[in-house]
Structure formats: C-alpha cells, structure tokens
C-alpha cells in the first residue's frame, strides 16, 4: 500500500453548521492552545515527506477561517518531497482569498456544496451563503486553482429530489468542474441517522434520466476513491464516492492529521496516535519519524473491513477534516 496523501484539519471551527457534519450541539470546540501551531504542522509535514507523503490537503472545520492560512500554504508548498498542497473548503470565504492562495502555492480546491437551491442550502448549512460559495467556484477557476471539484452529500429528505440532484450534476455541463456525489455516513448522534443514506446507484439513475447516459472517463491525476463519468456534451465530469455501498479500504492511500494533533490511519477504525504530546514533550525528529514509520507500516490493518469497532464509530467530523 503506497500511502502518499495527508489530510490535515487545521481547525475545528467553521462558518457553517452543516447537518451531516457539525449541527448545533454536535461537539465542543477544542481550546485554541490544543490546536496544532503552524510550526508543528510544518515540522510534521516535513517528517512525513521523508516517509513518502507527496500530497497534502488542508481541511477543517473550514480551513479558510484559520487566521494566516495563506501563510501556512506558503510554508508547506516548498517542503522537499511535497508535490501538491490543496484545500477542501465550503467556498464561502474563497473568492477574496483565491488569488493569494494560488500565489502561495496552493494547487487546487474541493468545494462542498450540497444544494443549488437557496432554501435547501440554508436548511442544510444554517446560513444563506450560497451566492458566496458559487462566487468561490468561479474565482477558483479564474485564478487556476484547478481542477475544481464540487463535493455534494445527498441526504434523504433534504436534497435528494430529482430537481436537486439534476441541478448539482448540471454544474458539470457548463463548467470544467468535477461534481462528486459522496454517500452519506453518520458520524455523531447529532447528525442525521444512517437511514438518511442515498446510494450513489440511485443518484446515477436520476442523473442519467435527466442528462443522458454517463460514460466512464479516466480519473487522471485525481487519485482517490472517486470514479468519474461524463454526460453528453458536458464541459466537466461527474464523480461518485461510494463509501457506504462500495468499500475501498484496500486502495486507501491516506493518513489524517486532526486539528489537535492526532494521526488517524483510518477515518472509521481505531486507533489514533497522539503526535502533539510527543512534539511538545521535546521529542527529536528521529523519535517522531520512528512513530510515523510505524503508523505507515501498520495502516493496512486499520480499516472498516477488519476493525473491531462498530460500523459507524462516533466522532466529530469537523475536528478530523472532511
């Protein structure tokens, strides 16, 4: 297993309250002093680059609410061995920051948008910020934070209508973006129940009934669990990430670093490893690197397929990073 991709949650704060991630009451915020500093993140990325990590994605919460996020990108992009620094964002704050992020070394962005209807978007996020998010998409394309990928989670009873799904998929008709449908999975007792899941097979049927037969296309440099298709005469692509209906543990190439400094080899399976305490206890690079190598060697055994935990382990998605 070639583990070469690191997702870093830089904060557990967010400017939205999405129903499937951080609804009201879902979690308490981590104290600021317990969040990794930029210096600590930079050090860990440097050590992990020496262990084979080549791509870094900054997530949250919402990474753009972290003060100095452009400076963090500027620190990480030149690290030897790191080939790409990208971000996952809800896009609300992206438009005024996009050019700076690109200049600092960011390669591309994923933007989370779950509805193109103002009312549904507000219902799912708690805020009327859809125009800002759409503006973020266009600005990202304009400054070259590409390929832009739109991540959409379909939740039964909220945004699963034919019209909602067609509108999301329809962005790929006119824009050179990849619209990706991610199967919903509960993470916390405050989020929607597991029964709110809509299989991607159903979503695909709806899309094909409205946009035409989808033709498979290579993923190219868009590595990961998504499979991609094109609708007839479309400028972009449509992707499906089917974590509920089609497990992809054997091909997973990523680690996650939480905002409070824990490394998770797998999103759903125990254990995780406390790197922050090690760093703040004065450990030298070789001691930290030894632990990182051990985590990488053992990653294959920590999967939803063979873990001894419940199918849906309870955790706060906003502190781990989406």
Res 21: pLDDT: 76
Taking the chain, what is the end-to-end CA distance rounded to the nearest angstrom?
Answer: 22
Structurally, the chain folds into a number of domains equal to 1
The closest of 16, 222, 221, 52 to 127, measured between CA atoms, is: 16
Q: What is the pLDDT along the chain (322 residues), one digit of tens a residue?
A: 689 999 999 999 999 988 877 766 656 789 999 999 999 999 999 999 999 999 999 999 999 999 999 999 999 999 999 999 999 999 999 999 999 999 999 999 999 999 999 999 999 999 999 999 999 999 999 999 999 999 999 999 999 999 999 999 999 999 999 999 999 877 665 566 666 889 999 999 999 999 999 999 987 665 678 999 999 999 999 999 987 777 767 778 889 999 999 999 887 766 889 999 999 999 999 999 999 999 998 886 655 544 444 444 555 555 565 5
Class of residue 48 by CB neighbours under 10 A (exposed 0-12, middle 13-18, buried 19+): buried
Sheet containing 227-230: give its strands across: 215-217, 227-230, 237-241, 178-183, 149-154, 106-112, 84-89, 55-59, 5-9, 254-257, 262-264, 273-274
CA 128 to chain CA mean position, Å: 22
Show the tokens assigned to 92: 């609300």
Domain span at residue 314 reads 5-320
Alpha carbons 109 and 146: distance in angstroms, whole number: 7
User: What does DSSP assign to residue 34?
Assistant: G
CATH number of the domain that 69 lies in?
3.20.20.70
- Residue 191 three-state SS: coil
Task: Give the number of other Cβ atoms within 10 Å of residue 31's Cβ.
Answer: 8
Write out the H or E segment, with its range, that includes residue 88.
strand 84-89
Res 188: pLDDT: 60
Is there a contact between 194 and 186 (Cβ–Cβ < 8 Å)?
yes
- Residue 160 three-state SS: coil
Res 48: pLDDT: 98
- 72, 78, 81, 85 alpha-carbon torsion, rounded to 10°: 50
Longest dimension (CA), the chain: 59
């Amino acid at each position: 297993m070639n583990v070469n991709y690191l997702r870093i949650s830089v904060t557990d704060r967010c400017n939205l309250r999405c129903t499937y991630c951080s609804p009201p009451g879902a979690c308490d915020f981590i104290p600021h002093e317990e969040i990794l500093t930029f210096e600590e993140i930079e050090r860990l990325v440097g050590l992990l680059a020496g262990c084979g990590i080549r791509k870094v994605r900054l997530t949250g919460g919402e990474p753009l609410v972290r003060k100095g996020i452009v400076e963090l990108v500027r620190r990480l992009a030149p690290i030897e061995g790191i080939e790409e620094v990208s971000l996952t964002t809800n896009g609300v704050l992206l438009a005024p920051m996009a050019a700076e992020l690109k200049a600092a070394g960011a390669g591309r962005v994923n933007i989370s948008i779950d509805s193109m209807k103002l009312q549904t978007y507000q219902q799912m996020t708690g805020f009327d910020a859809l125009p800002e998010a759409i503006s973020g998409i266009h600005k990202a394309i304009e400054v070259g934070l590409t390929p832009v990928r739109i991540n959409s989670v379909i939740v039964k009873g909220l945004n699963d209508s034919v019209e909602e799904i067609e509108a999301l998929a329809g962005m790929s008709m006119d824009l050179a973006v990849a619209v990706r449908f991610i199967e919903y999975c509960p993470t916390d007792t405050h989020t929607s129940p597991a029964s709110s899941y809509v299989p991607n097979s159903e979503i695909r049927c709806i899309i094909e009934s409205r946009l035409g037969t989808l033709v498979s296309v290579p993923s190219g440099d868009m590595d990961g669990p998504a499979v991609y298709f094109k609708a007839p005469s479309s400028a972009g692509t449509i992707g499906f990430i089917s974590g509920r209906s089609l497990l992809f543990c054997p091909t997973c190439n990523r680690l996650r670093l939480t905002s409070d400094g824990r490394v998770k080899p797998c999103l759903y399976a125990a254990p995780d490893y406390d790197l922050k305490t090690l760093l703040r206890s004065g450990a030298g690079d070789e001691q930290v690197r030894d632990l990182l190598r051990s985590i990488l060697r053992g990653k294959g055994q920590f999967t939803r397929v063979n873990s001894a935990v419940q199918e849906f382990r309870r955790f706060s998605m906003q502190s781990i990073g989406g």
